[in-house]
Chain A
């Protein structure tokens, strides 16, 4: 993988459903992986900064895992709520500690 890829690009879930999405990134020369939440009309906000293979991070109902050997990270949302509706971006620092590449994002809509 040369670029940062996110899937799916959009997702609709019912309130209360759990969901997950994927970020794939170059595994060589890896430094860090960030997840951001970007709500409409607001600025992107950091959710997680992950650096170590096997890292698992959690913030409330949202958690993330990291596999640096195979170059992917999963973001999980348990019991989705309408306020979780946002675009979730991942950003990979691969190829240099100052070289950051963002994915296109996964746009999540939670239907009440």
Chain B
């Protein structure tokens, strides 16, 4: 089945230790999104790729970077995680902007 896969499902890192979250898709969609969801809050868009074009939200901290080496994969790098970065990170894809999004299961990040 075509799907969106996120690895790992649970990630524990130490304060200040770089961490990378990965997302892959078999849908061949053009757009890939990264969201951060903290407890009892709305999912917040961090950035997205439309093909190779990177679109960063204005309020996304510089600590967060992303790479999309090809259509299928997208990575979220957190260069120096702080305690406030503990959250659920959701990856989603859509064929085009405005189309319905297909979500992965999320990665729950814990920062110690």
Query: How many residues of A sit at the interface, in one of the four size bands?
Result: 20 to 34
Within 8 Å CB of B44, what residues of A? 102
A86 interfacial by beta-carbon distance below 8 Å: no
Select which of A42, A49, A103 is within 8 A of B99 by beta carbon. A49
| CB pair A4 B97 closer than 8 Å | no
Within the complex, the shortest CB–CB distance from B105 to chain A, in Å, comes to 5
Nearest to B92 among chain A residues (CB) is A44
| CB pair A43 B42 closer than 8 Å | no
In the complex, identify which listed stretch (A11-19, A68-76, A93-101) lies at the interface while the others stay far away.
A93-101
Select which of B90, B97, B102, B105 is within 8 A of A98 by beta carbon. B97
Within 8 Å CB of B48, what residues of A? 98
Select which of A49, A98, A99, A105 is within 8 A of B100 by beta carbon. A49
A111 interfacial by beta-carbon distance below 8 Å: no
Within 8 Å CB of B42, what residues of A? 4, 89, 101-105
| CB pair A32 B43 closer than 8 Å | no
| CB pair B55 A98 closer than 8 Å | yes
| CB pair B43 A89 closer than 8 Å | yes
Cα distance, A103 to B44, chains bound together (Å): 9
| CB pair B98 A31 closer than 8 Å | yes
